[in-house]
Structure 1
Amino acid sequence: MHMADALVSPVVGGIMLAASAGAIAYSAYKCKDDLDEKKIPLMGVMGAVIFAGQMINFTIPGTGSSGHIGGGILLAALLGPFPAFLTITAVLLIQALFFADGGLLALGCNLWNMGFYSCLVIYPLVFRPIVKKGLTPTRITTASILSVVIALSLGAFSVVVETLSSGITELPFVTFLGLMIPIHLAIGLVEGIVTGGILVFVYKMRPELLETSVENKKLAKTVSIKKVVGMLLVFAVVVGGGVSVFASTNPDGLEWAMKNVTGTTELAADGSVYETAADIQKATAFLPGYGFKSTSEEGSVAGTSLSGIIGGGITLLLAGGTGLLIYAIKNKKKNQPDA
Structure 2
Amino acid sequence: MHMADVLISPAVGGVLWAASAASATYATVKIKNELGDKKIPIMAVSGAFVFAAQMINFTIPGTGSSGHIGGGILLAGLLGPFPALLTIAAVLAIQCLFFADGGLLALGCNIFNMGVIPTLIIYPLLFKPLLTKGIKLSRLSLASIVSVVVGLQLGAFGVVLETLASGITALPFSVFVLLMQPIHLAIGIVEGIITAAVLGFVYQMRPEILETSEQRVPLGTGVSIKKPLIALGIITLLVGGLLSIFASAYPDGLEWAMEKTAGTTELEAEGPAFRQAEAIQEATAFMPDYNFRDAGEDGSAIGTTVAGIVGAAFTALLAGAAGFVIYKVKRSKAA
Shorter chain as denominator, the TM-score bin is over 0.9
1:233 corresponds to which residue? Answer: 233
1:37 counterpart SS class: coil
Shift of 1:32: 4.0
Q: Does 1:156 find its partner at 2:164?
A: no
Structure 1, gaps ≥5 residues long? none
Which region of structure 1 is more displaced relative to structure 2, 209-218 or 272-281?
209-218
Amino acid at match of 1:133: K
Aligned partner of 2:114 in structure 1 is: 114
SS at match of 2:31: helix
Residue 253 of structure 2 aligns with which residue? Answer: 253
Deviation per residue, 1:241-267 (Å, 9 max, x gap): 000000001000000000001111121
Residue 292 of structure 2: aligned partner: 292
Give the alignment's Cα RMSD to 1 decimal.
1.0
Give deviations 1:83-123, integer Å, cap 9, x for gaps.
00000000000000000000000000000000011111101
1:310 aligns with 310
Query: Any residues of structure 2 matched to 1:175-214 within 5 Å, and which?
Result: 175-214=175-214
Residue 104 in 1 paired to residue 78 in 2?
Answer: no
Distance in structure 1 (CA, Å) of the matches to 2:295 and 2:231:
36
Partner of residue 321, structure 1: 321
Taking only the aligned residue pairs, the percentage that are identical comes to 60
User: In the TM superposition, what is the alpha-carbon distance from 1:298 to its structure 2 partner?
Assistant: 6.2
Report if aligned partners of 1:44, 1:315 keep a CA contact under 8 Å in 2. Answer: yes
CA contact (8 A) 2:33 2:216 kept: no
Name structure 2 gaps, 5 residues minimum. none
Instruction: Output one character per residue of 1:214-240: Cα deviation in whole Å (capped at 9) or x when no partner.
Output: 222221111111110111011111100
- Stretches of 4+ aligned residues off by more than 6 angstroms: none
The residue identity in structure 2 corresponding to 1:279 is: A
CA distance in 2, matches of 1:294, 1:127: 44
Verify the 8 A CA contact 2:33 2:218 in the aligned structure 1.
no
Answer yes or no: is 1:69 the counterpart of 2:69. Answer: yes
Query: Can you list the C-alpha shifts for 1:43-85, whole angstroms capped at 9, x where unaligned?
Result: 0000100000000000000000000000000000010000000
SS of equivalent residue, structure 2 residue 128: helix
Contact 2:149 2:185 in 1 (8 A): yes
What is the distance in 2 between the residues matched to 1:74 and 1:170?
34
TM-score, with length taken from structure 2: 0.98
Shift of 1:27: 0.7
- Cα offset, 1:136, TM superposition: 1.1
Aligned residues: 335
